[in-house]
Structure 1
Amino acid sequence: MTTETKETGVACGAPAVLVVQHEEDAGPGLVGEHLAGTGLRLDVIRAWEGEALPESLGGHAGLIVLGGSVNCEDDESAPWLPGVRTLVREAVAGEVPLLGICLGGQIVAHALGGSVARRFQGPEVGAVPLRRLPAAEGDPVLGGVPDGAPAAQWHWDEVDRLPAGAVPLLSGDDCPYQAFRVGSVGWALQFHPEAGGETVASWAVGDAEHLRAAGVDRETAVGSVREAEPELRAVWGAVSEAWGSVVRAHAGASRGV
């Protein structure tokens, strides 16, 4: 699902968030719904269709980098990635609220000096419980996530080294860096807060051969997300709105409100 200004009826003067979308079936989804519902405008760039990224974040109060199947270093397959890395660095340096989701989180890590590797144990898919780390306490975006909260996972790569100064916030039994903070208002997530059962089911169809090769039962993975969906919506909807509050505060400060 792609959420845009013309679809939400959000006023043109509302604070705008730049959203980089890498694939047709990996839009802002549930995160976009919550952000639009709180009065933010989403400017979605369909990068895979050739839509150009802006040269800077001027005019935007936040940046979201979504997920996708491309490797975060594969500039040949996704020639827009260098521009995304530039925007990520600008957001962190300029204290513009940033949210990286799955591939987007990996791009954040890579752009800031961390590294990403293929998971030797195979893909992490389905609904997976997360663990709070001590630094999550008091975090303005992830501070309210309960220990053991489920998250929708769908990734073959993962961050294996955090950038210097990054603060890990959430972990998991099979993936150590599920969420981390960079700078003052930047967050990177390995999981998919935007995805529900229908979205994951579509990914499972597209990745059927890869899942079979990895020995993963796609029906089990999809079923776990469907079963957890009420909690997924509640937990990550609240997180989306918390990030939106950071964006609105940034926009107000920029206007001197």
Structure 2
Amino acid sequence: MTSPSIGAPRPVVTVIQSSPDVHLDRFADWLGGEPGDVDLRIVAAFAGETIPLSDEVGDGLVVLGGHLSAHSDSVAPWLPELRALLADASTRGVPTLGICLGAQLLAVARGGRVQVAAPPGREAGLADVRWRPEAAGDAVVGPVAALADDRYRTPQPSMHADAVVDLPRGAVWLASSPMYPYQAFRVGSAWGVQFHPEASAETLRAWADAYDDVDTAAVLAAYAARADEVTTVGRALAESFAAHVRAVAQEPESLPV
């Protein structure tokens, strides 16, 4: 992966947080320290902090998950502005990563469709994310897909009941799981992942405990059995996204004609 140029300013990535317990978790180190090497600016939308415009986010944007639906405007009044930010940033070329709710908001913002309480039910614990041929060579998920087993799968934490059911027009479908088809996609300069690459076992435990329909012990046992793989994949995604942010930030701006 490309290293920052000596003396070059560190790229800035804005992170939008919609729930207090759905935070950067391990991504704080994987994105913000070596070899991620970007500065992180957290916007606590749940606490009333203002959603920035796309030209105010810096060099990249991460939209985290949350205990909301992509349509919960009545309880999360910042969501319309967040959807507008995702639509604009992904159109303007800002490297963007939406995680779980963030991916669902990205899909809706770009014209896709999300179903609340989708019929398959809650996907909790570890999802076997199966990478499609389109993922190979992708700037952000390509390094992750390269870690897959001989059935093109990587394990990743999951905790959601809503789901993307129609991708936006022009989106590239990158990954699926046995339970839900749209585990990863790219649209414009944005990537959406339905799983939680940032989640540690401790965070997953807290989320599982919050739902009566989730067996926390089973979730943690599955995580522990593949903890090394989960960490390797999550770190690879964080580092490849950071590398992409740095590469785009270092591109020379087009001169006016």
TM-score by length of 1: 0.88
Residue 119 of structure 1, CA deviation: 1.7
- Take 2:109 and 2:57, find their aligned partners in 1: how far apart are those partners? 22
Contact 2:54 2:89 survives alignment (8 Å) = no
Greater helix proportion: 1
Residue 12 of structure 1, CA deviation: 11
Single out whichever of 56-65 and 235-244 deviates more from structure 2: 56-65
- Take 1:78 and 1:47, find their aligned partners in 2: how far apart are those partners? 9
User: What residue identity is the alignment partner of 1:171?
Assistant: S
- Take 2:94 and 2:105, find their aligned partners in 1: how far apart are those partners? 16
User: For 1:1-257, what aligned pairs fall within 5 Å after superposition?
Assistant: 13-37=9-33, 38-58=36-56, 60-117=58-115, 118-144=117-143, 145=145, 146=148, 147-183=152-188, 185-207=189-211, 209=212, 211=213, 216-253=214-251
- Take 1:155 and 1:59, find their aligned partners in 2: how far apart are those partners? 27
Residue 51 of structure 1, CA deviation: 1.1
- Take 1:248 and 1:70, find their aligned partners in 2: how far apart are those partners? 31
User: Deviations 1:120-159 (Å, cap 9, x if unpaired)?
Assistant: 1210000121111110111111113212210101001000
Aligned length: 239
Counterpart secondary structure, 2:217:
helix
Contact 2:208 2:215 survives alignment (8 Å) = no
- Take 2:252 and 2:185, find their aligned partners in 1: how far apart are those partners? 25
- Take 1:112 and 1:50, find their aligned partners in 2: how far apart are those partners? 25
User: Deviations 1:24-59 (Å, cap 9, x if unpaired)?
Assistant: 111111222111112101110111111111233335
- Take 1:61 and 1:223, find their aligned partners in 2: how far apart are those partners? 38
Counterpart secondary structure, 2:205:
helix
User: What residue identity is the alignment partner of 1:206?
Assistant: A
User: Deviations 1:79-133 (Å, cap 9, x if unpaired)?
Assistant: 1111111111111111100100000000000000000012212100001211111
Q: Structure 1: which 5+ runs fail to align?
A: 1-10
TM-score by length of 2: 0.88
Single out whichever of 190-199 and 134-143 deviates more from structure 2: 134-143
Residue 13 of structure 1, CA deviation: 4.2
Contact 1:178 1:191 survives alignment (8 Å) = yes
- Take 1:167 and 1:55, find their aligned partners in 2: how far apart are those partners? 25
Contact 2:16 2:64 survives alignment (8 Å) = yes
- Take 1:119 and 1:19, find their aligned partners in 2: how far apart are those partners? 27
User: What residue identity is the alignment partner of 1:101?
Assistant: I
- Take 1:141 and 1:40, find their aligned partners in 2: how far apart are those partners? 16
What is the aligned-residue identity percentage? 38
Runs of 4+ residues deviating >6 angstroms? none
The alignment's C-alpha RMSD in Å is: 1.7
